[in-house]
Amino acid sequence: MRIGVIGLGVIAPYFLRAIEDDEHLTLTAVCDRNEAKLADFSDDSGVATYTDHRELLASGLVDAVVLTLPNAVHAEVAADALRAGVHVCCEKPMTVHLADAHELMALARQSGRTLFTAFHRRYNRNVAALRLGVGDPTAIERLVCRYSERIEEHTGSEAWYLDQDLGGGGCVIDNGPNALDAVRTIVGELELIDATIGDVRRGVEFCAELELRSASGVPVTVELDWALPSGEVKDITVYGKDGSVRSADMLAGFPGFKSSLDHEYAAIMADFRHVVSLGDAYTDAGPDIVALVEQAYAIARRKEPRLRMPSKRPTVARLVKLLFHRRDERGMTMSPWLSRCVRQGELHELVTTTDQPSRPGDRVDAVGFLGFAEFATATVVQRGDVVVCNGQRIGTVAGFDECHWPNHYNILIDTERVLTAEDLNLQVGDPLQFLETVR
Ligand SMILES: NC(=O)c1ccc[n+]([C@@H]2O[C@H](COP(=O)([O-])OP(=O)(O)OC[C@H]3O[C@@H](n4cnc5c(N)ncnc54)[C@H](O)[C@@H]3O)[C@@H](O)[C@H]2O)c1
């Protein structure tokens, strides 16, 4: 098969080596819109060079193309290739939008050409060993896949990864496809249950958690992270119903940076050749994975709770008056507000309770008094804030009682026991912090 490679960036060398090592494949053309990237292919290399993929496709020099392009470019170039009667091996994700993936599948059917997504982790030898070891997916209690890296260590000079229009998002669309596909080869088809994203900057998320379920009911968690301090963690752990725990570390046995990719990309090209020979009988998993990614964004981008995104500056409130009493029938009332603005220099009263008030109007009887504290800077105190004093966690803000307003609020703090200043050995001047809960 005569192959053209379109896009000569970071991942292209793994394909080029795999093509060179495969006796059934011949590299006949390459394309990159950046002419400098073509410099490695001299006139006498036997490889034609192009800066426009349409010229490469019209050259008659290729039976198939490998697409190693920014995510948002896959749909257009793959469609051009299929229309030109050329088989396509496309880097993941097949497309950013599911509608484009469906269009490509229809084009592939019409043209009688193969459309194949290069999910390299399904060929990882440690993942393959895990798949064999696990065998029957109905014996699985649950599965966890972690896919973490520092994205800057994996990108080239182009910054499209950080541009929502070109990349489609962050770690969900970048690492999600390989993680989801590898998991799918162990437990079968997946249904998305929930998705949470975090550390979102200009539409690009740096961490995410996906909750899924396989057709046979196995719960699956996929944890994605683009912001490890350095290095990579890429593994799958399978917890069996019999209490067994089996794992595949995708990088074990491959100490060099990205060194596992050589055997994975060699297997991609061998499998691509094979599925081209199958013709219509082959069904690509690409659109199913695009669908999961699209659904994950639809859920996660609507949700308020986000991972790892601090949103308020730390503030300190110093105790100016300690209180030592407690009451069993105080009769405070939860106000309707989940948060209250507090101005610099304001004083508010801190009240612990074991009543766990959660709705507006809830009566609060079992209370202990810590004292009054002066806020050093303006802030927003909100339900769920963790209250800390001298490094000791006191409890979490439940809400507010306004019986003394406008003099001050009673800030209600959920605690396991009713506590007073005495119980916590509080001193005048001690600093209290209100830390937001960030998962
Ligand atoms: N980098 C990785 O570790 C990695 C791993 C697995 C999959 N992938 C996937 O591979 C694809 C490419 O990623 P990359 O990291 O190699 O990107 P890259 O930015 O390093 O390379 C992309 C190349 O495409 C060229 N290009 C852009 N638009 C073009 C166009 N219209 N016509 C011709 N050339 C064009 C750019 O000049 C660049 O050389 C992405 O879909 C990515 O998700 C990357």
CA of 297 to the centre of ligand 1 (A): 22
For 167-200, the DSSP string reads HSSSHHHHTHHHHHHHHHHHH-SEEEEEEEEEEE
pLDDT of residue 304: 73
Q: Do 373 and 417 reside in the same domain of the chain?
A: yes
Query: Does some domain include residue 72?
Result: yes
Last residue of a domain, one of 120, 143, 163: 120
User: Which residue has the CA at smallest separation from atom 40 of ligand 1?
Assistant: 70
User: Which residue has the CA at smallest separation from atom 28 of ligand 1?
Assistant: 69
Query: Does some domain include residue 391?
Result: yes
Query: Does some domain include residue 147?
Result: yes
pLDDT of residue 4: 98
CA of 69 to the centre of ligand 1 (A): 4
Q: Do 152 and 248 reside in the same domain of the chain?
A: yes
> What average pLDDT score do residues 21-43 get?
95
> What average pLDDT score do residues 58-76 get?
98
Last residue of a domain, one of 120, 152, 185: 120
Q: Do 291 and 413 reside in the same domain of the chain?
A: no
Contacts (Cβ under 8 Å, ≥6 apart) of 360:
334, 335, 336
pLDDT of residue 315: 87
| pLDDT value at 310 more than 90 | no
pLDDT of residue 88: 98
| pLDDT value at 286 more than 90 | yes
Q: Do 107 and 136 reside in the same domain of the chain?
A: no
User: Which residue has the CA at smallest separation from atom 21 of ligand 1?
Assistant: 9
pLDDT of residue 334: 98
Q: Do 131 and 173 reside in the same domain of the chain?
A: yes
Among 41-55, 69-83, 406-420, the range scoring the smallest mean pLDDT is 41-55
Round the average pLDDT of the chain to a whole number and report it: 96
Last residue of a domain, one of 92, 120, 148: 120
Best of 37, 50, 69 to mutate for ligand 1, by most ligand atoms within 8 A of CB?
A: 69
CA of 219 to the centre of ligand 1 (A): 33
pLDDT of residue 61: 98
**Which of residues 391 and 254 earns the better pLDDT score?**
254
Is the CB of 150 inside a 6 Å radius of any atom of ligand 1? no
| pLDDT value at 439 more than 80 | no
Domain range for residue 11?
A: 2-120
pLDDT of residue 305: 66
Atom of ligand 1 nearest to the CA of 74: 41
> What average pLDDT score do residues 150-154 get?
91
pLDDT of residue 17: 98
User: Which residue has the CA at smallest separation from atom 44 of ligand 1?
Assistant: 11
pLDDT of residue 363: 98
> What average pLDDT score do residues 149-173 get?
93
Structure tokens at 135: 């065998």
> What average pLDDT score do residues 308-326 get?
92
CA of 68 to the centre of ligand 1 (A): 5
Exposure string of 19-53, with b = 16+ CB inside 10 Å and e = fewer, is beebeebbbbbbbbeeeebbeebeeeeebbbbeeb
Lateral strand order in the sheet of 219-225:
190-201, 204-214, 219-225, 140-150, 227-240, 245-249
CA of 45 to the centre of ligand 1 (A): 23
| pLDDT value at 365 more than 80 | yes
pLDDT of residue 306: 73
| pLDDT value at 45 more than 90 | no
Residue 271 sits at the vertex; the CA angle it makes with 268 and 272, to the nearest 5 degrees, is: 80
Q: Do 152 and 288 reside in the same domain of the chain?
A: yes
Q: Do 104 and 182 reside in the same domain of the chain?
A: no
User: Which residue has the CA at smallest separation from atom 32 of ligand 1?
Assistant: 33
**Which of residues 215 and 314 earns the better pLDDT score?**
215
Query: Does some domain include residue 354?
Result: yes
pLDDT of residue 314: 81
**Tell me, what CATH number does 148's domain have?**
3.30.360.10
| pLDDT value at 308 more than 90 | no
Question: What percent of the chain lies above the pLDDT cut of 90?
Answer: 91
Query: Does some domain include residue 334?
Result: yes
Compute the distance between CA of residue 377 and CA of residue 313 in angstroms, rounded to an integer: 10
| pLDDT value at 43 more than 90 | no
**Tell me, what CATH number does 104's domain have?**
3.40.50.720
Query: Does some domain include residue 8?
Result: yes
Query: Does some domain include residue 220?
Result: yes
> What average pLDDT score do residues 225-253 get?
96
Residue 16 sits at the vertex; the CA angle it makes with 29 and 104, to the nearest 5 degrees, is: 70
Atom of ligand 1 nearest to the CA of 7: 24
What's the total number of domains in the chain?
Answer: 3
Query: Does some domain include residue 106?
Result: yes
Best of 5, 6, 8, 10 to mutate for ligand 1, by most ligand atoms within 8 A of CB?
A: 10
| pLDDT value at 94 more than 80 | yes
Q: Do 73 and 90 reside in the same domain of the chain?
A: yes
User: Which residue has the CA at smallest separation from atom 41 of ligand 1?
Assistant: 71
Is the CB of 264 inside a 6 Å radius of any atom of ligand 1? no
Q: Do 253 and 130 reside in the same domain of the chain?
A: yes
Q: Do 128 and 105 reside in the same domain of the chain?
A: no
Scan for tokens 């997946």, then name that residue. Answer: 190
| pLDDT value at 48 more than 90 | yes
Q: Are the beta carbons of 235 and 249 closer than 8 angstroms?
A: yes
Q: Do 153 and 250 reside in the same domain of the chain?
A: yes
Q: Do 136 and 89 reside in the same domain of the chain?
A: no
pLDDT of residue 341: 97
- Condensed to tens digits (0 to 9), the pLDDT of residues 378-435 reads 999 999 999 999 889 999 999 999 999 999 999 999 999 999 999 999 999 999 999 9
> What average pLDDT score do residues 324-350 get?
97
CA of 310 to the centre of ligand 1 (A): 32
pLDDT of residue 303: 87
- Condensed to tens digits (0 to 9), the pLDDT of residues 189-222 reads 999 999 999 999 998 999 999 999 999 999 999 9
